[in-house]
Amino acid sequence: FITGKNFGVRHGFGLNLTAKYPLHESGNLRLNTTLMYNRFTSKFNKVFAEDVENDFVKYNVYSLAVGIEDNFNPGLKIRAFVGSGLLASMISGDTRMSSDSDVTEFSIKPGFRLGLSVYSGFEYLLSKNMGLSFGLKFTHANLWLKESRSSDSPGEIYLNDQKVYNNQLYSGYRQFAWGSFELGINYYLGVNEKLYYYRK
């Protein structure tokens, strides 16, 4: 984290709210808009010594994604889908690091980044208006607009994900990318009647 090799986190959780709009009557292609919140946090468990349990880094990632999804079999009760989207994210955080008797705390200033997400999964319809979804997603939140610079405010640093050549601490070519498993509840609007086709 200090030398800019990575962001210092490995685990997190998130919440998504997605609206899917079919682009034609059969419903195979859908336009998706997603609001996302992801929280990442880790303790620094291999630095210095005594106060290591209180050393941490935390990030909040707020995103808006717009993309296209292919729903392969909209006429079935179990549906497979695959999609991708363009992602706009605001990333911020906090960190605390201790060395001997010194404690360093920083607020990581919000940074705007563009990225991509790709995903696939299944939907299972419980009724004409309700269903469950299961999926896997890969998200790269800072693919574009990387930047590293020094802050004039004490106790604050920038996201600093672009490599610079002046030995600036906390900066480097870093990727905010993660894989996730998703479980969700679907609600279908405007469905008066639904016919299901079962393959024999």
Q: Is the pLDDT of residue 15 over 80?
A: yes
User: Residue range 78-93: average pLDDT?
Assistant: 97
Average pLDDT, whole number, for the chain?
89
- The pLDDT assigned to 101 comes to 72
Give percent of the chain with pLDDT exceeding 70: 90
Cβ-contact 148, 158 below 8 angstroms = yes
- The pLDDT assigned to 6 comes to 93
pTM: 0.89
User: How many residues are present in the chain?
Assistant: 200
- The pLDDT assigned to 116 comes to 98
- With a CB cutoff of 8 Å and minimum separation 6, the contacts of 158 are 108, 109, 111, 147, 148, 149, 150, 151
Residue type, 134: F
